[in-house]
């Protein structure tokens, strides 16, 4: 049943987001692993489209925030206004199940922090009052690494809040032709209908947590984490939170393939998106090159660290 639901979700997204089934699957993994997703790629490859498609596929509240440099924390969290002699709380867009934070690196660190804290704690404190965020809560942030004129790159330490960082990449020639052909298939045309309810998502999240992880797989995760820490090409290795995330993502990945147990292969497949943005490369490179370098390094590690069979 779980598999069916997930497959339905994936194919639903695939109706507007062609070709990149890996990226779509990983997006779904983020959702059911209770994580958040950072999509980082050059402009125009469909980062936002992917976010919207996922959000619209779930029958849940969805808000899109376009981040600009004059955005204030209260624009996200909400604020109380004086009304009828009392304070009335106006909830910000963050009080939605799915939040699409577009171009998150265009806003000031202050505003970024407001979002990131909320992502981590699953509640926000506004004017001394703690307000829980809806459950499920998923932030899909996008950022563009090419141009950082007038941007505020997310500090590497903060990136840890995202379960995964995804690259989408350019579509294959066939898929690109299809994009050209079906350009009228806009989202407005209602191509994406909700296929999951909030309770479905919760159920999937619960099931993902119950995916069995045997001892050898855990050992493998620990070995990988240690390898990042001892690599001389990395300034900073994977934190224990990172290792935990790797395990959670692998469990969710297994579930998307309809399994209730986790294989070393699952760990391998999610290793790059989960680990690459959490490590700091010892390099002068910046921008996309730096991202690629980190990913290549993680790929190297999964190609050297002994795997269980």
- For the chain, give percent helix, strand, coil, nearest 5: 50, 15, 35
* Residues between 124 and 153 with contacts to other proteins, criterion CB under 8 A: 146-152
173 φ/ψ angles, rounded to the nearest 5 degrees: -55, -45
Candidates 45-53, 120-128, 198-206, 294-302 — which segment interacts with other proteins by CB under 8 A?
294-302
Strands (E) in 188-246, as ranges, are 196-197, 234-236
Q: Are strands 164-166 and 37-40 parallel, antiparallel or unpaired?
A: parallel
Question: Under the criterion CB under 8 A, does residue 308 sit at the interface with other proteins?
Answer: yes
Question: Under the criterion CB under 8 A, does residue 210 sit at the interface with other proteins?
Answer: no
Question: Under the criterion CB under 8 A, does residue 70 sit at the interface with other proteins?
Answer: no
Q: What is the nearest approach in angstroms of other proteins to the Cβ of residue 265?
A: 5
Kind and range of the H or E element at 281? strand 280-281
Task: Say how far apart CA 60 and CA 52 lie, in whole Å.
Answer: 12
* Residue 167-186 contact track with other proteins, rule CB under 8 A, x = bound: --------------------
* Distances, alpha carbon 286 to alpha carbons 19, 159, 307, in Å: 29, 16, 31
Question: Under the criterion CB under 8 A, does residue 236 sit at the interface with other proteins?
Answer: no
Sign of CA dihedral 83, 88, 94, 98: negative
Question: Under the criterion CB under 8 A, does residue 109 sit at the interface with other proteins?
Answer: yes
Of the pair 148, 170, the CB lying nearest other proteins is at 148
Question: Under the criterion CB under 8 A, does residue 4 sit at the interface with other proteins?
Answer: no
Of the pair 239, 307, the CB lying nearest other proteins is at 307
Question: Under the criterion CB under 8 A, does residue 214 sit at the interface with other proteins?
Answer: yes
Candidates 59-67, 182-190, 193-201, 284-292 — which segment interacts with other proteins by CB under 8 A?
284-292
Task: Say how far apart CA 119 and CA 131 lie, in whole Å.
Answer: 13
Task: Say how far apart CA 204 and CA 57 lie, in whole Å.
Answer: 15
Of the pair 185, 305, the CB lying nearest other proteins is at 305
Closest-CA residue to 19 (of 165, 178, 143, 164):
178
Question: Under the criterion CB under 8 A, does residue 307 sit at the interface with other proteins?
Answer: yes
Task: Say how far apart CA 241 and CA 194 lie, in whole Å.
Answer: 32
Contact residue for other proteins among 42, 91, 191, 305 (CB under 8 A): 305
Q: Using CB under 8 A as the criterion, which residues of the chain lie in contact with other proteins when the complex forms?
A: 69, 108-109, 146-152, 212, 214, 216-217, 233, 259-265, 268, 283-289, 292-293, 296, 300, 302-309
């Amino acid at each position: 049943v779980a598999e069916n639901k997930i497959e339905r979700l994936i194919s639903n997204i695939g109706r507007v987001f062609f070709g990149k089934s890996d990226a779509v699957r990983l997006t779904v993994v983020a959702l059911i692993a209770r994580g958040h997703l950072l999509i980082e790629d050059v402009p125009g490859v469909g980062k936002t489209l992917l976010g919207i498609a996922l959000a619209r596929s779930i029958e849940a509240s969805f808000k899109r925030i376009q981040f600009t440099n004059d955005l204030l924390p209260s624009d996200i969290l909400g604020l109380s206004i004086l009304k009828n002699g009392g304070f009335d709380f106006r909830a910000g867009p963050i009080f939605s199940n799915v939040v699409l934070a577009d171009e998150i690196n265009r806003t000031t660190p202050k505003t970024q922090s407001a979002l990131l804290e909320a992502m981590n704690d699953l509640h926000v404190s506004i004017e001394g009052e703690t307000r829980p965020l809806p459950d499920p809560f998923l932030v899909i942030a996008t950022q563009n690494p090419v141009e950082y004129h007038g941007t505020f790159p997310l500090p590497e330490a903060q990136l840890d809040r995202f379960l995964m960082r995804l690259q989408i990449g350019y579509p294959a020639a066939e898929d690109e032709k299809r994009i050209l052909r079906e350009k009228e298939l806009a989202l407005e045309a209602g191509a994406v209908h909700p296929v999951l309810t909030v309770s479905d998502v919760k159920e999937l999240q619960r099931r993902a947590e119950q995916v069995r992880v045997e001892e050898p797989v855990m050992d493998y995760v620990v070995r990988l984490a240690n390898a990042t820490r001892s690599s001389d090409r990395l300034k900073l290795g994977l934190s224990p939170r990172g290792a935990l995330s790797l395990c959670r993502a692998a469990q969710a990945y297994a579930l998307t393939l309809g399994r209730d147990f986790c294989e070393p292969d699952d760990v391998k497949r999610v290793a790059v998106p989960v680990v690459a943005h959490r490590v700091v490369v010892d390099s002068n490179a910046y921008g996309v090159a730096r991202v690629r370098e980190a990913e290549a390094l993680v790929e190297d590690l999964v190609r050297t660290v002994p795997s269980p069979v």
